[in-house]
Amino acid sequence: MTTAKAPVPVLIPALLIMASGTSVLSTDLYTPSLPHLQGVFGTDAATVQLTLTLHLVAYALAQLFFGPLSDRIGRRPVLLAGMIGFAVASVLCAMATSIDALILGRILQGMTACAEAVVGYAIIRELYDEDGAIRVLAAYGMAIALAPAVGPVIGGHMHVWFGWRSNFVLLTGIIVVVTLLIWRWLPETLAKPDRGALRPRRILRGYFTLMTDGPFMSYTLVMSSVLGGLFAIIAAFPFLFIERMGVATEHYGYYYATVVMAFAVGSLVVSRAAGRISSDRLLVIGLLLGILGEVALLVVLATASVGPVSLTVTQCFFAFGLGLIFATAPVRAFDVCRAGHGYAAAMLGALPMAAGGLGTFCVALSHDGSVWPVAIILAASTMLPAMLYFIVQPWRVGAGGIRVEVASNRAAGT
């Protein structure tokens, strides 16, 4: 059974959701401009896609430092410092005069925007019990899904009306507003700072403990793999829809928004099901739906009937399943981990973003203008984690890493 915790003011998750949404916008807002940046900077698609790939790699690696740092000095100062740096990096992106300068600005964006991911996971899991955390993460997922849903729509119109730089100017303004709200209203939630959290030996030992923790890594890699698939979609679809299928730049965002709204619906379903269906069962359903979507995509490709609508519909199954996985895998990973929450939060943020970087790198490496490369990448991103999950069987592990004979989550009626 889970232990009930004190009620949490709704303002806290609301502030975290705003920070998350802003962070997500840094990935999605400018994606309709990606095909056009080739002509702006006189470069190729693979180089342009590096603005996404290296952003995600920086986002992943920096979290490994921000996690212990938040254990040492607190959640609030880490989040505020990250948001301020995020704003500065966005200004540098808007001012870029070469593709190299834009790539550098995007790397700096990733290094600073990631502070939110570490702080958000840690605060949510420390303030809520398991069922409460699942509900909050589901609501979290639904809310931040609005950012990637509306981001490309807004970004496409901003590109047409004001040019690609306007997206980064808009993002900077949003970051400043959110940072001021966090500074004014977000309290410090870390009960007791860990003064030894930044010792190199301690950091290495903490991450080594997690990396050798089979159940924790199983849940983390499941979420990482499917998120890698999502970022493969983000990197590949603008080129496929706009260049190959002739979709107008300002209209592309509506197709992508449909996929993201499927993710939001999945998050809504898992929020309603939390406490009645075990989190591991919900996770398995999410994996199966993801596999269904990618098998459907392969069938569509094999029958030569691929188009904007069919491509979008197949990925709605994948995104719906991702909504279930996003809300359940992090909670279960926290439950079974054998290290501190700061380390676990950092790893839960770092590995998925690293997988996202790998997904976009694979897209850039295999880009040939067709749908087949991304279809194969997406199929692997759903089938491989399903195999890992059933081989490791992490549901047999209870809180604190103790192996049990039954699932540690409560199913309906038990």
Which tens digit of pLDDT belongs to each residue from 57-69? Answer: 898 888 888 888 8
Most confident stretch, 136-145, 170-179, 242-251: 170-179
**Residue 321 in this model has a pLDDT that exceeds 90:** yes
**Residue 256 in this model has a pLDDT that exceeds 80:** yes
Cα–Cα dist 319/316, whole Å: 5
| pLDDT tens for each residue of 190-207 | 778 778 878 888 888 888
The pair phi, psi for residue 277, each rounded to 5°, is -120, 135
pLDDT band at 399, cuts 50/70/90? low
Contact criterion met (CB below 8 Å) for 47 and 98: no
- Displacement of CA 39 from its chain's centroid (Å): 29
pLDDT at residue 410 in the model: 37
Domain ranges of the chain: 11-181+197-401
pLDDT at residue 220 in the model: 93
Cα–Cα dist 218/165, whole Å: 40
Contact criterion met (CB below 8 Å) for 68 and 198: yes
**Residue 330 in this model has a pLDDT that exceeds 90:** no
**Residue 97 in this model has a pLDDT that exceeds 70:** yes
Q: Would you tell me which CATH number, out of the four given (1.10.150.20, 3.10.20.90, 3.40.50.150, 1.20.1250.20), belongs to the domain 11-181+197-401?
A: 1.20.1250.20
| pLDDT tens for each residue of 166-190 | 999 999 999 999 999 999 988 887 7
Alpha helices in 74-190 (DSSP H): 75-94, 99-113, 115-127, 130-162, 165-185
pLDDT at residue 99 in the model: 94
For 195, 343, 357, 368, the CA distances from 64, given in Å and listed in that order, are: 17, 7, 16, 34
pLDDT at residue 37 in the model: 92
pLDDT at residue 341 in the model: 66
Q: How many CA atoms lie within 13 A of 186 on its CB side?
A: 28
The mean pLDDT of 122-145, rounded to a whole number, is: 72
pLDDT at residue 197 in the model: 77
pLDDT at residue 84 in the model: 95
Burial of 227 by CB count in 10 Å (0-12 exposed, 13-18 middle, 19+ buried)? Answer: buried
Strand partners, 88: none
For 55, 84, 155, 280, 300, the CA distances from 354, given in Å and listed in that order, are: 10, 23, 25, 24, 29
Quote the pTM value.
Answer: 0.73
pLDDT at residue 87 in the model: 96
pLDDT at residue 244 in the model: 86
Contact criterion met (CB below 8 Å) for 152 and 257: yes
